[in-house]
Structure 1
């Protein structure tokens, strides 16, 4: 278990990232390729990713370079997910290249002691080797992570809306209380589930606050930097819901009655409103244009299923009690 200790100042400096962190999503997606845990949530991605890696000639790079550097284990090097580049892919790649050789060597030594480092890993102390690694990471990202960025962004925006509701109801502590089963808020400590083979440790924020980063490809235990001196960041899983084998996310067979009644796009729009969604978020979730999403939102609002309020330059759609009842009935779940 990881115990993160907050002061009042840390609570004031805690935030939820506004966008996916593409560099950490590389790591999380590589972990998905190494485990069957949660595979049902990524069935479509897994098949597409394997095909893309074959088509792009990246299978050897995956096996011999990337998987050994990013083991799904108690540790992989912190420099591979740069602290100062959360949310910025190019900055993250540049930071990996610019990592001091002494730090690379020290973190690879930890990797070797923990799970074993590949024999060639020491070459990464050289600038040219790190540039070549970044080239491989860019190719991998383009093949299997970038095509899912819009889906990840839509999920994160919905997650931010949910966290904002916790914030409105109970302040930052209310927001921390709703982060999911892997994170438990016991004031003034956030307890984070870690793999069983990982020793318990404490992280004292010391006034630095915490950046919470919802991760599309993370599954199960959240991830934090091993080095407590780095800026505090916690990547945690978005809660995926079961789908029928081979179906894309959000197309569970239990939702077919709702889709039959409303049509696919309108059913997806209603489902997006369950956690609060802007028109743009509805459009991304349903895979339609903004104008089409606006028409669907209008139809749902006229039917009394959603309500709409202005939220800055955008509008936020949320369920009415009638909409929530229909969604529960249409999906066969508790809502």
Structure 2
């Protein structure tokens, strides 16, 4: 449910072009007509209705949709009131705020149809990324305990027992009061972490995972890039395409040695796919427009 909601931001915002542009071009035209019901509740930026991401015991889409259908009328009304404070809502949301079954059912059906059209074709790749993140977190727990996990959660994370500080779009405090904090790695979360607006609900922290440019390309295209450049060099190009980074960061992102990262970046620079400049004691690598076109598999 979180991926469904956050993907709606990625679908309409021209940010993260390296990672999401190809998916946006492919998935956007497939969005069903009733996707407009979702975009009414998920504006291009800012607050989206909390009830769209219910906490469930099960982890399937069916579990999330069933929880959405059972949303209490009070919660529907409360969340829509918050949303109405920031933007004008269309008339159909009145029936939703009143908890009318036909309105709630139509909304749940719209979520399912959007998922099947725009996310299901890529779901194996998305869950593969999330699985690797969970494995990484498991290794961090084994290596340094939960303190290590919290410190490594996001570049803005600062853990000073008993407070975790993170970059966030607005000033907000979440007091656990003895409750656990559910960490949710998200593929379509970009930039800063996010959480529910209502702090009285089960505490959850959704944070972005590292992405691989070209993830939504057909398998043949992805294989061709590795065949053209070599597997390691293709990974280095994708790592630099994700965001400008130092040689040390390239090595970390690609799980290679520092000399290998430096050698591959130099080869890519010679081919005009990346540029490099001195940044203090480090060298900062950035992808060029030619490198972006190669990753995206688009026209020259």
TM-score of the alignment, normalized to the shorter chain, above 0.5: yes
- 1:17 maps to none
Is 2:154 aligned against 1:180?
yes
What RMSD, in angstroms, separates the aligned Cα atoms of the two structures?
Answer: 3.3
CA distance in 1 between counterparts of 2:57 and 2:64 reads 5
- 1:231 maps to 202
Residue 127 of structure 1, CA deviation: 1.0
Shift of the 148–331 alpha-carbon distance from structure 1 to 2, 3 Å rule, reads: farther
- Secondary structure at the residue paired with 2:205? strand
Is 2:134 aligned against 1:163?
no
Contact 1:166–1:174 (Cα < 8 Å) also in 2: yes
Deviations 1:103-149 (A, max 9, x none): 11111011101233223212112111111111111110000111121
Structure with more contact order per residue of length (Cα contacts < 8 Å, sep ≥ 6): 1
CA distance in 2 between counterparts of 1:259 and 1:330 reads 15
Shift of the 86–74 alpha-carbon distance from structure 1 to 2, 3 Å rule, reads: farther
Question: Structure 2: where are the runs of 5+ without partners?
Answer: 240-253, 269-282, 286-300
Contact 1:159–1:214 (Cα < 8 Å) also in 2: yes
Is 2:51 aligned against 1:73?
no
Residue 248 of structure 1, CA deviation: 7.3
Question: Structure 1: where are the runs of 5+ without partners?
Answer: 1-22, 275-317
Shift of the 242–142 alpha-carbon distance from structure 1 to 2, 3 Å rule, reads: closer
Contact 2:49–2:80 (Cα < 8 Å) also in 1: yes
- 1:92 maps to 64
Alignment of 1:1-335 (within 5 A): 23-53=1-31, 58=32, 60-63=33-36, 65-84=37-56, 87-124=59-96, 125-195=99-169, 198=170, 200-241=171-212, 259-260=227-228, 262=230, 325-326=259-260, 329-330=263-264
CA distance in 2 between counterparts of 1:213 and 1:163 reads 11
CA distance in 2 between counterparts of 1:45 and 1:85 reads 30
- Secondary structure at the residue paired with 1:203? coil
Shift of the 166–121 alpha-carbon distance from structure 1 to 2, 3 Å rule, reads: same
Q: How many residues align?
A: 249
